[in-house]
């Protein structure tokens, strides 16, 4: 893997690695690991893409002082530092999936696509507040709201929603 570098974000120095050139693919680890859990996929994707992984605050080689700083801001700082500004495909596992989803909802122009592996999606989080009333009701269940959020994130750039999400 390439040499690690540190990216400034707030009062943190985020440990990041990037390999390859082309369409950016950014990997976001779970709460049970760090950037190294993505070395295998990064090595394979690096032949045709700009593969990026970083340690979130409190993990791996990242150094950070305590502060109220959004995880999405850290993600964007890493993308700004190691890509050319092209919208990225975000890959996230568990809490990393939640951060990727939050980034897609807040900054759709920065995201080309999402790959979410068991994302940690809150039932009453900020993303859920944007759901239509029909999907927020207790009778619709958590899964319906989650499906709509994913459809919204995937189609944010086209401005249209898949039929299943309407």
Tell me the percentage of the chain whose pLDDT exceeds 70: 73
Residues 92 and 42 in one domain: yes
In this prediction, residue 3 has a pLDDT band, given cuts at 50, 70 and 90, of confident
Predicted confidence at residue 146, as pLDDT, reads: 42
At 120-147, the pLDDT tens digits run 887 655 554 554 554 444 433 344 334 3
For residue 108, the 8-state DSSP code is G
What is the domain range of residue 150? 125-166
In this prediction, residue 75 has a pLDDT band, given cuts at 50, 70 and 90, of very high
- Determine contact, residues 89/113, Cβ cutoff 8 Å: yes
Which H or E run contains 15? Answer: strand 12-19
Residues 138 and 69 in one domain: no
Highest mean pLDDT among 66-75, 116-125, 150-159: 66-75
Average pLDDT over residues 56-67: 93
String of DSSP letters for 130-143? GS-HHHHSTTTHHH
Number of domains composing the chain: 2
We report the CATH number of the domain holding residue 56 as 3.40.50.1820
Tell me the percentage of the chain whose pLDDT exceeds 90: 65
More confident residue, 35 or 159: 35
Residues 38 and 73 in one domain: yes
**Does residue 68 surpass a pLDDT of 60?**
yes
Residues 114 and 143 in one domain: no
At 83-108, the pLDDT tens digits run 988 999 999 999 999 999 999 999 99
- Determine contact, residues 29/93, Cβ cutoff 8 Å: yes
Residues 129 and 91 in one domain: no
Residues 86 and 143 in one domain: no
Residues 69 and 143 in one domain: no
């Amino acid at each position: 893997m390439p040499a690690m570098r540190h990216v400034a974000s707030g009062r943190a120095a985020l440990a990041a690695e990037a390999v390859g050139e082309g369409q950016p693919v950014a990997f976001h680890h779970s709460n049970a690991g760090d950037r190294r859990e993505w070395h295998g996929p990064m090595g394979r994707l690096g032949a045709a893409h700009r593969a990026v992984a970083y340690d979130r605050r409190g993990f791996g080689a990242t150094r950070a002082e305590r502060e109220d700083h959004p995880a999405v801001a850290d993600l964007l700082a890493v993308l700004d530092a190691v890509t050319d500004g092209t919208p990225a495909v975000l890959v996230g596992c568990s809490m990393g999936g939640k951060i990727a989803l939050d980034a897609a909802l807040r900054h759709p122009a920065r995201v080309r696509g999402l790959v979410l592996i068991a994302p940690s999606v809150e039932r009453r989080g900020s993303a859920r507040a944007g759901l239509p009333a029909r999907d927020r009701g207790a009778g619709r269940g958590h899964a319906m709201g989650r499906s709509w959020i994913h459809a919204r994130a995937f189609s944010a750039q086209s401005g249209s929603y898949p039929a299943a999400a309407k």
